[in-house]
Amino acid sequence: MKTIVVGGSGFLGSHVADALTEAGHEVTLYDLRPSPHRLPDQRFVHGDILDAEKVKEAFRGQEVVYNFAGLADLDEAHEQPVESARSNVLGNTILLEESRRAKVSRYVFASSIYVAGHAGGFYRASKQACELYVEEYQRWFGLDFTILRYGSIYGRRSDRNNGVGQYLLQALRDRRIVIRGTGEELREYVHVSDVARASVRILEPEFRNQHVILTGHHPLRVRDLAEMIREMVGPDVRIEFQPVDPLQRQEGKTTHYTITPYSFRPQIAKKLVSNYYVDMGQGLIDCLEEMHAALQSPTSSSWEPTGNPR
């Protein structure tokens, strides 16, 4: 099928674009910046999701739209609530409207497991609003969708806001890992290649108009992740913890969840899992190889850590 990946130059979008190409689909990337990972048979269109005319032109003749665009970092969304609404909610609505006009057969929206709970702040709120718009476009205009609720993804090509990437870089470069919290926080880490394959599989008819959870297989404490990285990189790596204000956590004012992202809500999503997936130890080693090579390059600047790892 003819597929367009909006935000296709980013971490997750580029991997999904590659998985689509591997599966035999015709792929167009739509982004504000060219992708350094674009394959020779992938087409690139430079454009903003807020430019309706540009989106309309790019969507002409497309059968499937993937939306990975917008503001994706929890802490940035917390600091910029207006931009979060503008980029995520308004941008998503423009993409939905042009998808309807182009008569695409499936609109795939990249959401988050945070939508099922109270954590996540303005990022979570923007994703919840986007999901509602996606559902209403199907109800009123018949635009079929699949909503993908992603968890904690790691792997090659991730940017400086990626939690696992920050821990790996700190261990390699600074010989320490700084964790904001107690370390008892649980995450279901999943390798980007696994979710990329699953993000293509959901084009099958059984996933039409469904909400699908894409996370890892086994919960892992952040403390244990840090210990894994220390064993891989060297015993001299220090693990440090920065406490979170207990009053803020008690009042539910933290952007990151502790044990689970879920709170009681009537809507249910189904989790898509596979018996064929990247072992986390192997995945971390693969990331370390990429980062070590980047750190040896005097021109590399993509791995400057910022924000708080998820």
High-pLDDT (> 90) share of the chain, %: 71
8 Å CB contact between 252 and 119: yes
Residue 166 lies in a domain: no
Residue 112 lies in a domain: yes
Domain holding 55, by residue range, is 2-153+189-215+267-277
Any idea what the CATH number is for the domain that residue 15 is in? 3.40.50.720
8 Å CB contact between 192 and 44: no
Is the confidence at residue 10, as pLDDT, over 90? Answer: yes
pLDDT in tens, 98-152: 999 999 999 999 999 999 888 889 999 999 999 999 999 999 999 999 999 999 9
8 Å CB contact between 306 and 180: no
Residue 292 lies in a domain: no
Is the confidence at residue 14, as pLDDT, over 80? Answer: yes
pLDDT at 188: 92
CA 17 – CA 152 distance, rounded (Å)? 19
Confidence of residue 186 (pLDDT cuts 50, 70, 90): very high
Confidence of residue 307 (pLDDT cuts 50, 70, 90): very low
Q: Look over the chain and give the mean of its residue pLDDT values, rounded to a whole number.
A: 89
pLDDT at 55: 98
Residue 127 lies in a domain: yes
pLDDT at 302: 53
Output 17-23 pairs: Cβ under 8 A, ≥24 positions apart.
17/42, 18/196, 19/193, 19/196, 19/197, 19/199, 19/200, 20/200, 23/200
Is the confidence at residue 82, as pLDDT, over 70? Answer: yes
pLDDT in tens, 190-209: 999 999 999 999 999 999 99
**Residue 105 or residue 286, greater confidence:** 105
Residue 145 lies in a domain: yes
pLDDT at 285: 86
Confidence of residue 264 (pLDDT cuts 50, 70, 90): very low
pLDDT at 279: 80
Residue 95 lies in a domain: yes
Least confident range from 26-30, 183-187, 222-226, 252-256: namely 252-256
Kindly report the pTM of this predicted structure.
0.85
> How far is residue 119 CA from its own chain's centroid?
16
pLDDT in tens, 15-68: 999 999 999 999 999 999 999 999 999 999 999 999 999 999 999 999 999 999
pLDDT at 161: 82
As for how many domains the chain has, the answer is: 1
pLDDT at 250: 46
Residue 200 lies in a domain: yes
| Helix axes of 91-102 and 121-141: crossing angle, nearest 10 degrees | 20
Least confident range from 4-18, 95-109, 158-172: namely 158-172
From the CA atom positions of the chain, what is the Rg in Å?
A: 19
Residue 146 lies in a domain: yes
